[in-house]
Structure 1
C-alpha cells in the first residue's frame, strides 16, 4: 500500500462542505480531504489511526437511500435505486437552495477517464470484451434516462427543469462510482440496495485495504471500520472488492498499478479457433457438450494461472471426429478430466490443447503489441482528438498488463510442452 503523504485541500467548496457537516452534527473523524501525487484527491489521516477504529460514520439523515427518496417520489414506481438516485442528483444540482448543495458542489465535474466518456479515437483501442461492456453501459444509461423521463411525465406534480441526456449521464456516473451497498436497513429497493453517503465516498480504493462496513442499527449510521492502521499524513483507503483493472476502469475510471486480480479474457479467441477448426456440425456438438457440463465461456489466463475452464474447452476442441461413431467414448474421457478423476485425456490431446493455447496467446500478444505501439503515437495521429491524459495513460497500462500476462502464459505453456 502506498505510504506517500498528501497535501490537505483548503478550497472554499471543501470548507463549506465541512461547515455543513459540523452544523448538522456529523460525527468527527480523523480524515481530511487531500491531494496525492499518484491517486489525485483522496482522504488523509489527520492523526494516527489504529486497526479496529471506525474511520467514518454517516448518520441516517446524511444517507441518500431508496427509503429516504420514497418520501419525495413515492414508492409506487418502477424505477430502480440507481435510476432514482441519479434522477434525484440531477434535481439537486438544479436546486441552488438545496440542503445538499455543499455535497453536490463537491461531486466530480466530469468523468472523462471512464471509457463510457472516451472519444472514438480511444474507444477503438479498447480490448474487445471491454469495448462490448462499455457499449452496453452506454445503452443502460440512456435507457435509464428514458425511464426517468417517463416517470416524470406520469407524475406532473414533481416539478423539474428540462433534463438533458448529458445531465443524467453525469448523475448516473456519480451514483455508479460513489454508491455504497446497504445492509440491514432496506430490503425492498428495486435493482439493488444502494445509497450515497457524503464523506465516505471520498475514500479511494486499494486491494490491500482491510475493512468492515455496514449499517449500525444501534446508532442509525453507516460505518466503516479499518483493520489496517495508518499514520498521520498517510492516505486512508477502503476496498471496493476483488476487481481486475478492466472492471476498475469501466466502473470507476482508474486502474491500480499492481492489481492481483488482473486477467486476460480469451473467449473471442477460443470461439474463433473453434470456427476455424470445426465444421458447423462439429462446432454445435462441442458447444452443446460445453454448455451441458457448465464450461461454456469465461476462458481466462492470469499471471500465474491458466484457467481450468480454458483448458477444458481446448481439450475438447483437440478431440477429433465430433460427428463420427465412437466420439462419445472420447467425450467420456474428457468428462473424467473435467470431474477431476484424471489430469489429462492423454499426452497427445494435452499437447494439442497447449499448442492451441500457444497459438491463441501469440495472436493476442501481436494485438497487444500493435495497440501499445499505436497508443504511444496516438496524439500524433489524432492531433484534433480531445481526451483526458489519464484516460490514455490508463488504457496504455491495461494493454501493457495484458501483454505481461500473455508473455508469462507463453513461457508457462512452453515449459509444460517440454515435459510431455
Structure 2
C-alpha cells in the first residue's frame, strides 16, 4: 500500500497533492475497522484488519488526548518525560498536525467525489483521534521502497503485508535488503510494485524454524525510538556503570547561554554559523564525549563571558577554530568550557536522579491496570530514558574531570 497503488483512489484535486504519508493514512482513516469487525475496504481490507486496533501506549496519543482535555491513563506520564524527549514529542505532534490539516483540506475539496467522505466532514475535528490511529500505523510500520526518481524523495515508502510483522532489534538483523534495479543503475524508479523487492539473510546469521525474524530500524537513539515507535532498546541493565547512549542537552545549554548578558549575541552568531542547537552527549563502551557542535557552542559562550565588551571582532579566534586555522582559542578557554560541560552534566545527573525517584515512588498502583496493562511497561521505558541520561552524563563528566581530550 503506497502512493502509487492508491493514486487511482484519490485524485489530486485540492489545495496541494497529498504526500505518501497523507494518502496512505487517509485510506486507513476511511477504512478503519469498527471494534472487532474487519475493515470494510474491498481491496486492502484483509491487510488493514491485521493492523493494531489502537495505540493507547504511544506518546502521540497521550498528547492528543491531553490537548483535547480527554481522560487517559497515558496523559499523566507526559509529566515524567525527559525535557529533550518531550521536545521531540512536540515536533512529532507538529508533523502530525500538518498532515492532518492537509487531509482535512483534501476531504473538504473533494467532498463532491464520493459520499464516503460525508461522515468525516460532519465531524471533521472529532475524527482527528481516528486519524491518529491511521497516521501512527503508517509512521511505525512503513518501510523504505524506491518509487520515485530521487532516492531521497520522502514518498519512497510503502506498507507491506507480512514484512511489517518484523520487529526491531538494535543489532543482528536477520534481513539485508537487496538493491533494486533503480538503485543499482540510479535510473527511473522500479515500474512494477515488488520488482527487486527482496531481502537476503546475512552470511553471519542463521534462522531456526519457529524463530522470530527481526529488522534493524536504523541507528536511532532511544529518544527517537520512543517518540517515533513508542518503545526503547533495553540496553541498560540495572544500574550498570556504562552504556551506549545519546542525550540531547538543548534545554540545559540554551538556558546556560541565554542566562548570561552575552546570550543574545552568542545565539545570533551560532545561528549564523549553523551551530545553534542539536547539542548532544554520547557514550559507548569505548568512549564518552560531547558532540563537536556542543564543544563549539560552549567555546563561544565562554569566550563571550570572558570578554567585558561583546563585539564581532572579539570572537575571531573562535571563527579561526571552526575554520580549521587553529586548534583551540586558548588554554584558558579550554579549561572554562570544560567547567561548563561539567556543570551541565551535574544538572543532568541531579535531574535524572530526582525523576527516577519520582517514577519509582509514584507507582503504577494509581492506575486501573485492568484496562491498560501497558502502563508498568511504559513506565519502565521512561525509567530507561532517564537512566540513559544519568549514565551518559556521569561518563562524560568522569572523562572531563580526568582531563581526557575530546
Question: Which TM-score band (shorter chain)?
Answer: 0.7 to 0.9
Cα distance in 2 between the residues matched to 1:363 and 1:382? 29
Q: 1:157 aligns with which of 105, 108, 113?
A: 113
Cα distance in 1 between the residues matched to 2:3 and 2:216? 24
Question: Does the residue aligned with 1:234 lie in a helix, a strand or coil?
Answer: coil
Cα distance in 2 between the residues matched to 1:92 and 1:221? 29
2:205 matches 1:229: yes
Cα distance in 2 between the residues matched to 1:367 and 1:179? 36
1:142 to partner: Cα distance: 4.1
CA contact (8 A) 2:96 2:135 kept: yes
Equivalent positions of 1:4-403 (< 5 A) are 64-77=1-14, 78=16, 79-94=18-33, 95-96=39-40, 98-118=42-62, 119-155=74-110, 156-160=112-116, 162-163=119-120, 164-184=127-147, 192-208=155-171, 209=173, 211-213=176-178, 215=180, 217=190, 220=195, 222-227=197-202, 228-232=204-208, 233-258=210-235, 262-276=245-259, 278-279=260-261, 282-303=262-283, 304-319=288-303, 320=305, 322=307, 324=309, 330-379=314-363, 382-383=366-367, 388-403=375-390
1:367 to partner: Cα distance: 0.7
Cα distance in 2 between the residues matched to 1:285 and 1:345? 18
1:125 to partner: Cα distance: 1.2
CA contact (8 A) 2:180 2:196 kept: yes
CA deviations 1:361-387 (Å, max 9, x no partner) are 111111111111111122368446966
CA contact (8 A) 1:286 1:322 kept: no
CA contact (8 A) 1:80 1:189 kept: no
Distance change in 2, residues 1:283/1:67 (3 Å): same
CA contact (8 A) 1:207 1:239 kept: yes
CA contact (8 A) 1:113 1:391 kept: yes
* Corresponding residue of 1:21: none
Cα distance in 2 between the residues matched to 1:187 and 1:335? 36
Cα distance in 2 between the residues matched to 1:97 and 1:75? 21
Distance change in 2, residues 1:126/1:322 (3 Å): same
1:91 to partner: Cα distance: 2.5
CA contact (8 A) 2:145 2:158 kept: yes
Instruction: Compare the two structures and name the one with the higher strand fraction.
Output: 1
1:82 to partner: Cα distance: 1.0
**Larger deviation, residues 236-245 vs 157-166:** 157-166
CA contact (8 A) 1:116 1:137 kept: yes
CA contact (8 A) 1:67 1:186 kept: no
**Larger deviation, residues 151-160 vs 189-198:** 189-198
Question: Does the residue aligned with 1:169 lie in a helix, a strand or coil?
Answer: helix
Question: Does the residue aligned with 2:199 lie in a helix, a strand or coil?
Answer: strand
Root-mean-square deviation (CA, aligned residues, Å) is 2.9
* Corresponding residue of 1:57: none
Question: Does the residue aligned with 1:416 lie in a helix, a strand or coil?
Answer: coil
CA contact (8 A) 1:184 1:215 kept: no
Question: Does the residue aligned with 1:230 lie in a helix, a strand or coil?
Answer: coil
Cα distance in 1 between the residues matched to 2:201 and 2:145? 18
CA deviations 1:77-122 (Å, max 9, x no partner) are 4222111111111223355362322212211122233211232210
CA contact (8 A) 1:116 1:134 kept: yes
Structure 1: tracts of 5 or more residues without a match: 1-63
Cα distance in 2 between the residues matched to 1:265 and 1:97? 43
Distance change in 2, residues 1:407/1:262 (3 Å): same
Cα distance in 2 between the residues matched to 1:246 and 1:335? 32
Distance change in 2, residues 1:322/1:293 (3 Å): farther
CA deviations 1:244-268 (Å, max 9, x no partner) are 1110111111111239873111121
CA deviations 1:25-73 (Å, max 9, x no partner) are xxxxxxxxxxxxxxxxxxxxxxxxxxxxxxxxxxxxxxx1111111111
CA deviations 1:322-372 (Å, max 9, x no partner) are 5628x6565222223323444322222111111111111111111111111
Cα distance in 1 between the residues matched to 2:139 and 2:160? 13
Cα distance in 1 between the residues matched to 2:4 and 2:339? 56
